[in-house]
Chains A and B, each alone.
Chain A
């Protein structure tokens, strides 16, 4: 009797929680078991990792002090954000002063053409995150613009495929970092402009990202296109679809799942490569932040690098999830994009 009543209590105390959860997510179907699997188990995993980390951190002594544990790293999250806020305040103050100064001179001398100068303070952690994200996205999009049409052409045309294949196969396994010196030299030789639209360092990083995004996208797109069901090709032939309509109505939709697989793969690689490229070339971004902190060698450096490591991981995860959501939205084949 007492057993039955406790079970009943547990059930009733769980029920409101479950229904709250179902309301929050906007769908029904959370059972105690699925809650355990989707929320409780991951939480346990993270806690275990934090425990092992902090235990191990205390045992490691480096020349810069103890290896940072979770608590110290968490502190650095806060201080990096504070630094960002102070830097922004400084910048605002600078612009305000500049404006006042210009206004004052204009009053004295109406002919004076006011000069505005950009604030040249140091880039904060948040600025570096922004730079890296912009770089990776622009390199990725540029690669997609080249790779997807190229992949479609290769997939459709066996002659072209045979001609291009050796080049792709040889360049595919090359680490894009090997390209970096070449890219740097070519960019500084070719991209000469007194008033550059974007910084050279940005261009270097972006082209490196683009080079590593290119191959997975070209290969996956061409495989997707060439594995097009022959019956669908016949449908297109019976309907006498023009070449453009054939690509638009049959080829492209049929290979969307594979194209997205390629895009997801290359975005993942691109994010990893970008950080390394920024470290290597001292181009602005998260990689430079890590390298600067390493060179800086203050007692906080390791904790700050650890912050960067976690942020890099979280952003990489976020990019992958975003691609997955876009893929699910854009693709007709829901079965191939479930994970």
Chain B
């Protein structure tokens, strides 16, 4: 498989009132076409920063991102982002939210009826065709995230970036969304980078899990290949010894090797720098 995305030697240093804070150091990652990669790590390890650099929303201090032979320097619809809190425009219906993206990307190449068809197809893909003329405040959190995914898919991105897409959902809805996402992946075979801190989610969905070490100066710790057969079913996998092994590998990394020591009295420095980092990242 050919490399679609090449993240090479990325360093990220944030300027804070207390001096420079190195969030990432020497992050290297190659992602092949059609691959589903999860980034997992403790909160504050810079997962989102990596994603935002790939998206072009942040500029790496040094190093770079190459997508399809071209360097990434600014955001663009070929690297569609599914934001953690859906980020739908609250004054537009689900249909109109997707329409804004589709018109922006295909406004010149598709005819009016093709655009309409394409919007409806994408909403159908995420099972939102029954509520496509509802506004975000009229639908549930899971449905909003479905629309967010439909909007991203509708841009027909070369790579889909998902920033903890199901983090804000309850466990049942999340499981449902994961199944939906696997179904969509089966059909479209997109290249995906997904950030998560849910171990089961990572093992269930990914081809590879990239485990990140703790910050400051976080980097890629270990990479775990997930060679479970697709299509995967969560019930069958629960009894699969390979699944259990992979799961415990990730858990070992997170809770033995990169155990995060969080004292009850929070270290002021780290909270300040984290906050400023989040501000930049947000």
Say whether A associates with B.
Answer: yes
Asked if B104 contacts A234 (CB within 8 A), the reply is no
**Can you list 9 contacts pairing A with B, beta carbon distance less than 8 Å?**
A235-B89, A238-B75, A238-B81, A239-B77, A239-B101, A240-B74, A241-B104, A256-B91, A332-B91
**How far is B91's CA from A332's CA once the two chains are assembled, in angstroms?**
5
Report A-chain residues with C-beta under 8 Å of the C-beta of B75.
234, 237-238, 240
Asked if B282 contacts A238 (CB within 8 A), the reply is no
Asked if A235 contacts B104 (CB within 8 A), the reply is no
**In the complex, which range does the number of interface residues on chain B fall in?**
20 to 34
Which of A229, A232, A240 contacts B104, CB < 8 Å? A240
**How far is B155's CA from A265's CA once the two chains are assembled, in angstroms?**
42
Q: In the complex, which residues 41-90 of chain B have their Cβ closer than 8 Å to any Cβ of chain A?
A: 55-57, 74-77, 79-81, 83, 85, 87, 89-90
Report A-chain residues with C-beta under 8 Å of the C-beta of B89.
232, 235, 249-250, 253-254
**In the complex, which range does the number of interface residues on chain A fall in?**
10 to 19
Interface string of A316-339 (1 = CB under 8 A from B): 000000000000000011000000
Given contacts A239-B101, A240-B104, A332-B135, contact A234 B77 (CB under 8 A): no
Interface flag for A195 (CB, 8 Å):
no
Interface flag for B238 (CB, 8 Å):
no
Report A-chain residues with C-beta under 8 Å of the C-beta of B90.
332-333
Interface flag for B188 (CB, 8 Å):
no
Q: How far is the CB of B17 from chain A (nearest CB, A)?
A: 18
Asked if B77 contacts A240 (CB within 8 A), the reply is yes
Asked if A239 contacts B100 (CB within 8 A), the reply is yes
Q: How far is the CB of A232 from chain B (nearest CB, A)?
A: 6
Q: In the complex, which residues 244-284 of chain A have their Cβ closer than 8 Å to any Cβ of chain B?
A: 245, 249-250, 253-254, 256
A-B contact count (CB 8 A): 54
Chain B residues with a Cβ under 8 A of chain A? 55-57, 74-77, 79-81, 83, 85, 87, 89-91, 100-101, 104-105, 135, 155, 282
Report B-chain residues with C-beta under 8 Å of the C-beta of A229.
87
Q: In the complex, which residues 188-233 of chain A have their Cβ closer than 8 Å to any Cβ of chain B?
A: 229-232
Report B-chain residues with C-beta under 8 Å of the C-beta of A253.
89, 91
Given contacts A332-B91, A333-B90, contact A234 B83 (CB under 8 A): yes
Chain A residues with a Cβ under 8 A of chain B? 229-232, 234-235, 237-241, 245, 249-250, 253-254, 256, 332-333
Asked if A240 contacts B76 (CB within 8 A), the reply is yes
- Known contacts A229-B87, A239-B104, A240-B75; 4 additional CB pairs below 8 A are A234-B57, A234-B87, A238-B80, A250-B89
**How far is B89's CA from A240's CA once the two chains are assembled, in angstroms?**
16
**How far is B104's CA from A240's CA once the two chains are assembled, in angstroms?**
8
**How far is B57's CA from A239's CA once the two chains are assembled, in angstroms?**
12
Report B-chain residues with C-beta under 8 Å of the C-beta of A234.
57, 75, 81, 83, 87
Which of B55, B85, B91, B135 contacts A238, CB < 8 Å? B55
A231: nearest residue on chain B (CB-CB)? B87
